[in-house]
Amino acid sequence: MLYPVTPTPSSVSAPEIIEPMLEFMSDAQYSVRRALVSRPRRRWHLEYLGKPTADWRIIRDFLQLHRLGVTPFSFVHMTAFDVVPQTNTTPTWLNYQHGLVTGQWVNISSGPAGLIGQWQVTRVDSVYIILNGSVASGTAPVAVEDYVPTAMARFSENTWESPSKIIGPEQIGTAGNRTGYFNFNVTIEELF
């Protein structure tokens, strides 16, 4: 199940890089460090500002359905996308400063019909990635954003704190009543 694209967050942070290390100290007092996993994971902080009660309830219900991070879901970085050139080759190459490593995923939301969807990538260098399994689909530019096929919500002490109330009660406006407006945050973390 995909994390809700509406309501749209007011801001989404650039991804934090999570790279757990295993460190050994030798008898000669030098250390050896090794990564614990084959590639780093990413974490995003989503900030929702001044959202009405209905929007807060959409996110709350989604997170409760996924038990506040127990059940994984998919995540598309909906507020940051690049419109980039692509090659008319098999497989298709994308040309932009991507910051991705081999094995990560992207979502193509517009462009040639044959490319729309999610693709695992192979990193060529800092400006080229290959869409694994893709075929030539024309030369039109594509809109690409980060996609995480398996993610979870992370909360401090496994608790999603109540949102900050901006105005009004927690109600949806009916018959002239004021609706509540809230600020709240969600942290999304990539899983392997």
Token pair 């994308």: residue: 94
What's the chain's average pLDDT? 89
User: Percentage of the chain surpassing pLDDT 70?
Assistant: 95
When mean pLDDT is compared over 17-21, 55-59, 156-160, the highest value belongs to 55-59
Q: Name the token pair of 71.
A: 């059940």
pLDDT tens track for 96-151: 999 899 999 999 999 999 999 999 999 999 999 999 999 988 889 999 999 999 99
Instruction: Note whether 100 and 80 are within 8 A (CB).
Output: no
Sequence-separated (6 or more) residues with CB below 8 Å from residue 78: 5, 8, 9, 12, 145
Local confidence band at 85 (pLDDT 50, 70, 90 cut-offs): very high
Q: Is the pLDDT of residue 40 over 70?
A: yes
Give the residue carrying structure tokens 């398996």. 150
Q: What is the mean pLDDT of residues 173-190?
A: 83
Q: What percent of the chain has pLDDT over 90?
A: 60
* Torsion sign, CA atoms 114, 134, 79, 172: positive
SS3 at position 113 = helix
pTM score, whole prediction: 0.83
Give the distance from CA 96 to its chain's centroid. Answer: 18
